[in-house]
């Protein structure tokens, strides 16, 4: 891939960050990959699991294309990776932004659909209009965002002859917990999309891998609770949660298996967690 230093990469922005969306900048073609393993695309790469995954994949020999809404955070992550990384601003809830993100990518080996998250913890029966809007965002980001990203990159994945789609779901994609209705519904749907894709892509050179983590110490809870740091910290109190690097290592291992091997789904828990609801705390 042509080397574009992080600080001169696409800097268009999307809702929730500074600047304005500039599809023309995002549409600049990417040159052919030069990394030994080809190109890996990571959505939601400005923090947490996505940033760690971009770093781990670059370390494993991939060129990496990082997408998220916050251009400044993307640039910082890319700068830490070095010349194998470039960035494009991306909002997976916006179809035009996803199209611009994928523009000019003729071939890619890996697409990690990681962008997403949770908003709020309101019981189903208490959800008001604000909560309904949050449910819609969670569906747009965690479900439609995955489908859009896959659609946009599928020709490039097939063209590589060895495509891998990674969908980062959650334990919330397979279990439920009180207050989690909007998020668990979205992640269950994301898991369904991953399984459906595996059926639909059977016979084509693309593997579909689902990674379903339990508690990971990232900005996830800070976002969920609107920046309330105390509430976010309480989620992990008295436990040793997974780190973003733990999940990144699992993603990297899964995508570097031989082409005939599909890691269909990997569930990762911290030792202190046995289900979405059963958490051992030392306090």
Ligand X SMILES: NC(=O)c1ccc[n+]([C@@H]2O[C@H](COP(=O)([O-])OP(=O)(O)OC[C@H]3O[C@@H](n4cnc5c(N)ncnc54)[C@H](OP(=O)(O)O)[C@@H]3O)[C@@H](O)[C@H]2O)c1
Residue from 12, 60, 64, 68 touching ligand X (CB under 6 A): that is 68
Residue closer to ligand X, measured from CB, 159 or 240: 240
Residue closer to ligand X, measured from CB, 62 or 183: 183
Contact region for ligand X (CB under 6 A) — 4-12, 41-49, 121-129, 192-200? 41-49
> Which value, to the nearest 10 degrees, does the dihedral of the CA atoms of residues 261, 267, 269, 273 take?
-150
Contact region for ligand X (CB under 6 A) — 90-98, 174-182, 202-210, 256-264? 90-98
Residue from 33, 50, 181, 270 touching ligand X (CB under 6 A): that is 50
**Residue 134 contacts ligand X per CB under 6 A:** no
Residue closer to ligand X, measured from CB, 158 or 223: 223
Site string for ligand X, 2-21 (x = CB under 6 A): --------------------
Half-sphere exposure of residue 163, counting CA atoms within 13 Å on the CB side? 25
Q: Which residues in 230-259 contact ligand X (CB under 6 A)?
A: 244
Q: Angle 233-235-239 (CA atoms, 0-180°, nearest 5)?
A: 95
DSSP letter string over 180-208? Answer: -HHHHHHHHHHHHHHHHHHHHTTTSSEEE
Residue from 44, 120, 180, 182 touching ligand X (CB under 6 A): that is 44
Strands 163-168 vs 110-113: parallel, antiparallel or unpaired? parallel
Spatial distance between the Cα atoms of 129 and 57, rounded to a whole number of angstroms: 40
Residue from 10, 65, 70, 201 touching ligand X (CB under 6 A): that is 70
Using a 10 angstrom Cβ sphere, with 0-12 exposed, 13-18 middle and 19 or more buried, the burial of residue 96 is: exposed
- Residues 6 or more apart in contact with residue 39 via CB below 8 angstroms: 1, 30, 33, 62, 63, 64, 65, 105, 107, 108, 109, 110
Q: Is 236 tagged catalytic?
A: no
The answer to whether 273 touches 217, Cβ cutoff 8 Å, is no
**Residue 165 contacts ligand X per CB under 6 A:** no
**Residue 148 contacts ligand X per CB under 6 A:** no
**Residue 87 contacts ligand X per CB under 6 A:** no
Site string for ligand X, 195-224 (x = CB under 6 A): ------------------x-xx-xxx--x-
Q: Which of 183, 220, 225, 269 is catalytic?
A: 183
Residue closer to ligand X, measured from CB, 160 or 218: 218
The answer to whether 248 touches 218, Cβ cutoff 8 Å, is no
**Residue 180 contacts ligand X per CB under 6 A:** no
Spatial distance between the Cα atoms of 246 and 269, rounded to a whole number of angstroms: 10
Of 194, 278, 251, give the one whose Cα is nearest residue 58.
251
What is the DSSP-derived secondary structure letter of residue 267?
Answer: E
Q: Which residues are catalytic?
A: 183
Binding site for ligand X (CB under 6 A): 43-50, 68-70, 73, 90-93, 114-117, 141-142, 168, 170, 213, 215-216, 218-220, 223, 244
């Amino acid at each position: 891939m042509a080397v574009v230093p992080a600080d001169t990469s696409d800097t268009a922005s999307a809702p929730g960050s500074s600047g304005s969306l500039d599809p023309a900048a995002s549409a600049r073609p990417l040159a052919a990959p030069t990394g030994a393993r080809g190109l890996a695309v990571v959505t939601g790469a400005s923090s947490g699991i996505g940033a760690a995954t971009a770093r781990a994949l670059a370390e494993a020999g991939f060129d990496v294309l990082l997408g998220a809404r916050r251009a400044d955070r993307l640039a910082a992550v890319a700068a830490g990776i070095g010349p194998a990384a470039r960035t494009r601003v991306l909002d997976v809830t916006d179809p035009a932004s996803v199209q611009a993100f994928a523009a000019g990518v003729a071939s890619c080996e890996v697409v990690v659909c990681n962008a997403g998250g949770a908003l709020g913890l309101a019981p189903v029966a208490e959800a008001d209009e604000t909560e309904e809007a949050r449910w819609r965002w969670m569906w747009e980001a965690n479900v439609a965002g995955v489908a859009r990203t896959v659609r946009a990159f599928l020709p490039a994945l097939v063209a590589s002859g060895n495509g891998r789609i990674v969908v980062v779901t959650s334990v919330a994609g397979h279990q439920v917990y009180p207050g989690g209705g909007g998020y668990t519904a979205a992640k269950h749907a994301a898991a369904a999309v991953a399984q459906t894709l595996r059926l639909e892509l059977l016979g084509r050179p693309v593997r579909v891998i689902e990674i379903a983590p339990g508690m990971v110490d990232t900005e996830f809870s800070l976002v969920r609770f609107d920046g309330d740091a105390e509430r976010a910290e309480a989620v992990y109190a008295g436990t040793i949660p997974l780190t973003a690097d733990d999940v990144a290592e699992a993603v990297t291992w899964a995508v570097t298996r031989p082409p005939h091997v599909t890691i269909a789904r990997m569930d990762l828990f911290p030792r202190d967690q046995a289900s979405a609801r059963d958490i051992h705390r030392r306090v």
